[in-house]
Structure 1
Amino acid sequence: MVIMEGQGLSRGRSLLTAVRIRKMQLKIVLVGERRVGKTSLLERYLKNHFAEAYTGTLGGRVYPTDLEIGLDGEDIALAHIAFFDLMGEHSVRQVFAEPFFFGTQGVLAVCDVERPDTLHLIKDWMEVMTKIAGPVPVGIAFNKIDRADSMAIGPEETAWLRKEFPTAPMFMTSARTGQGVEDAFSTIVSLSVDAVLAKGRASRSGRLFRQRILLFIAVRGNLGSSKAELFSEFKAVLPAQIMEELDNLVRLEALALDPSGTKTFIKAAEAPGTTRYWATDRGKRISESPKGDELMIEEIV
C-alpha cells in the first residue's frame, strides 16, 4: 500500500460504516546517524520513490500525511501525521532537540546494516528524545537489507539491541526495493495511535474518579471529608491518586480547605491526614452535573 504525501488513504473499514470517528494529530520522528537512509525510507513510504543519488538533510524536514485507520470494533481514527526527519549530525541534534522531539508520539530509529556503529548510536538518540518527550512507542529499522552480502550486524549486535530496547519491534527494510518499509511505518503508526487512545482512556478514567471524590464530599455538606476518610472510602485506589485528584479539585475551585470557601492551597501530600475538604458552590454544581462544567475536561495534546 502506498501513502501519498499530504493525502488520506483508508486502512480498514469505510467512513460510511464507522460508529465513531476519532480525530487526532500525531508526531512521529525518524532518528539515526547520517546516511542510514531515513529520508529514503520516508520517500519510499510516502511517495513510492527512491533516489540513487545521496542528498543529505539540512537541519530537519517535515512530511505531512493524512490516514484513516481502522480501530477495534467499528471505530475509525482520522490521523493527521507529521513525520519529522532530522539531519543525523550530533551537533544539529543538540541544537534542535527541544523543538524536534517535544510532543513526539512515536519514533522510528534507523540503522545501516553495513555500519554496526549506527546501531549502537541509536541509544544516544533515544536518550535525548526520551528526556524531552518521555516514553513513547519505538520501532527499529535495519535499513539497506538489499546489501545483505555486506551486512555487518550480527547476533552480538542484535542481542545488545534486545537488551537495550526489549519491547521495540524490529524491521528489515530496504528503501531501494521497498522491502519491509510499509510494515515498519504501519506498525509505528498503529502503536502511536494505540498509545494516544490509551492516554485518552486513562484521562477519562481520572475524570470519573475525580467526580466520585467530589460527589462523596459534596453530599456530606458542612461535614466535608478528611484525607483519612477518603482513603478509607476509596480503599481500592492508591493514596497518591486520591491526593492528586484532591489537588486538581482545589485548583479547579471545586473543593476548599475551609468551609467558607476561602482560597487556600496546600498540596495534599504535605497535609496531615486530618485535613478536611469541603465542596464549594461551584463544586456542588459540578457534582450535580459533572459533564456540564468545562473545567472538568482535559485535552490530550
Structure 2
Amino acid sequence: MLEMKYWRSILFVPATSDRFVESALRRSADVLQIDLEDSVAPDEKDFARSRVRTIAGRFAQAGYGVAVRINRPWRQAVRDIEASVGKDVAVLTLPKVPDASYVRFVGEVLDACEAEQGLPIGHTRLIAMVEDPEGLANMGEIAAASPRMYGMIVGAEDLAVSMQMAVGDDTLYIPNVMAVAACRRAGITPIGFVGSVADFDDPDDFRDKIRRARALGFNAAFCIHPRQADIVNEAFLPAAADVDEARQLVAEFESQMAQGRAACTFKGRMVDLPVVLRARQIIERYQAYYPPG
C-alpha cells in the first residue's frame, strides 16, 4: 500500500452503490473514499453506515488507502464516526469545517472510538474541507488544529454557494493558494486544484487544472469520476525527464560542494541549496512510486 504522504488521487465511492464499489476495485486511484455525505440520500444514511466497515475491508485488502467522508450535522457526524473507525480506515474527511475547535471536538470522539476498537489513539487521520467564509477565515488554525490532520481542501461548489460567487479560476485562485500556504505552514498535505471536481467531461481541461495545481504546490486531488484518477496520478507524478535533470543537478552540486563551493551553475542557471532541496523533493517523490532497484 502506498505511503500516505504520497497519496495523489482520492476517488469518491458512494457507500450505497454495489456497482460503484465493484468498479472502484478496478481503478487506479491511490485512495478510495467511501462517501456518506452528498452521494447518499437522507433516508439511506443508516444503510450507508452499516456498510462502511465491510467496504473498507475490501478496499484495504485490495491495497488501496481508505478514507470516509462523513456528514456535517453533529448527530449524523457522531454516528458516522462510530460506524467508520476501524483498522482499515486511515482517514475521515470532514465537510464544512468552520474552525479549529470543530476538528478538536471530532478528535475527542475519535479518541473514544479508537479506544473501544483497540486501536492506537491517533490512528485515524483527518482531511478538512473548507467550504464557507468562516472556514476560509480560519484556514491557518484549521490546518494546525490537531496532530490528526492529514490534509485540507477547498470545496469549490459549496464555497461558491456560501460566497455567492461563480466557480471559476478568478474566484477560486486566492482561496486555493491560501490553502496551500496554510497546509505548508502546518506540515500537512495540500489537496485540490483551482476549479470544480464536478468538471470531468473534458479530460484535457482537467489535466491542465491538475498540472497547474502541482505547480501551485498541491500534492493530491479528489476525484468523482474514475477517469480523473488516471489524470491525477500522472500529473502529480514527476516526469522521468524532470527526475533525470534533478539527479544531474544534485550530482553537479555535490561535486562542487566537495571542492569547497557553496553554489554552482547548471544548464545556465545558478544553483544553491534551495534549488537542490527542490530537486531532491522531485527525486524522493518519484522514488515513492518507482523505488530504486
TM-score bracket, normalised by the shorter chain, equals 0.3 to 0.5
What's the TM-score, normalizing by structure 1? 0.35
- The structure in which a higher percent of residues are helix is 2
What's the TM-score, normalizing by structure 2? 0.35
